[in-house]
Amino acid sequence: MYGRLPIVKMLAATVAIGAAMSAVMVSINWDGQQASTAAPEIDNLLNVMIVLSSFVFSLVMVMLFYALWKFKAKPGDESDGEPIHGNTRLEIAWTLIPTVIVLFAGGYSWSVLDSIEEPAKNPMTVDVFSQQYAWSFGYPGKDLAFSEGELHVPVDRQIHFKMHAQDVIHSFWVPEWRIKKDNVPGITTTAIVTPDKVGTYQLICTELCGFGHATMRAKVVVESPADFQKWVTGLKETIPDPLLEAIKQDTETDPIPVGAGGA
């Protein structure tokens, strides 16, 4: 036998490395300023996950490197390793602890998602059309006004973005809002965001969708309701017919089963 493991030293190393890693990772501003009501909750969730994973990662690394160093075969040692028949207590522990961690993480994520997607009283719907490699936007509540490459929304109002991909899968992401949602051909997905800071942001496609993926961006303007009203009434175009067709195929409100005319 190899004698007792230096458990206290290993735990101390785990705590020290985990704490240092958490401190560095949590202090990084990953997604820019917080510009939606969901941002603080999502950032808290991310920080909790960072701390949990830092400690799990450092525990695994400490044990791995200790084992590599301590149980290395001596030069010339050609013998087999000791037969090991398992350790019931250890196996129960390494099943139970991760189960508790994963259930906690799942429950916490669920409650955050529930809270950030809570429908508000007076939401506005914006249709988002994505195609290789451009974004366009329809405003069904504003006489079907239509804009290409530039999205405007009023501040402090819940927006329900209805996503309609025209070709391949794209993904809608405004980092400052934190919300990210896939646009999938054939179905309509919804992202719920309440922007709460006036400013100019960038919409980024975050699903590798072809050669032009990296350039698939759009300008996002969050402005006062009056400025938004002025901008949207100034739009000359309305949503083109083929895109109106895409809205009609909204599988959330009007499900058509696959094979019965649905995509």
Of 222, 221, 199, the residue nearest 149 (C-alpha): 221
Rule CB under 5 A: choose which of 209, 243, 246, 247 binds Cu ion. 209
Task: Say whether residue 181 binds Cu ion (CB under 5 A).
Answer: no
| C-alpha–C-alpha distance, residues 180 and 39, integer Å | 12
Q: Which stretch binds Cu ion (CB under 5 A): 65-73, 118-126, 162-170, 222-230?
A: 162-170
Q: Which residue number, 190 or 206, has a Cβ lying nearer to Cu ion? A: 206
Tokens matching residue 127: 């249709």
Shortest spacing between CB 209 and Cu ion, in angstroms: 3
User: Could you say whether residue 170 binds Cu ion (CB under 5 A)?
Assistant: yes
Among 203, 216, 218, 247, binds Cu ion (CB under 5 A): 216
Among 116, 205, 222, 247, binds Cu ion (CB under 5 A): 205
CA distance 261 to 51: 48
Q: How many CA atoms lie within 13 A of 209 on its CB side?
A: 28
d(CA 136, CA 141): 16
Smallest separation (angstroms) from Cu ion to the CB of 208: 7
> Shortest Cβ distance from residue 29 to Cu ion (Å)?
25
Q: At closest approach, how far in Å is the CB of 189 from Cu ion?
A: 15
CB of 149 to Cu ion, least distance (A): 14
Establish how many alpha carbons lie within 13 A of residue 41's alpha carbon, considering only the half-sphere containing its beta carbon. Answer: 16
Residues pairing with 104 in the sheet? none
Residue type, 66: Y
Which positions touch Cu ion (CB under 5 A)?
170, 205, 209, 213, 216
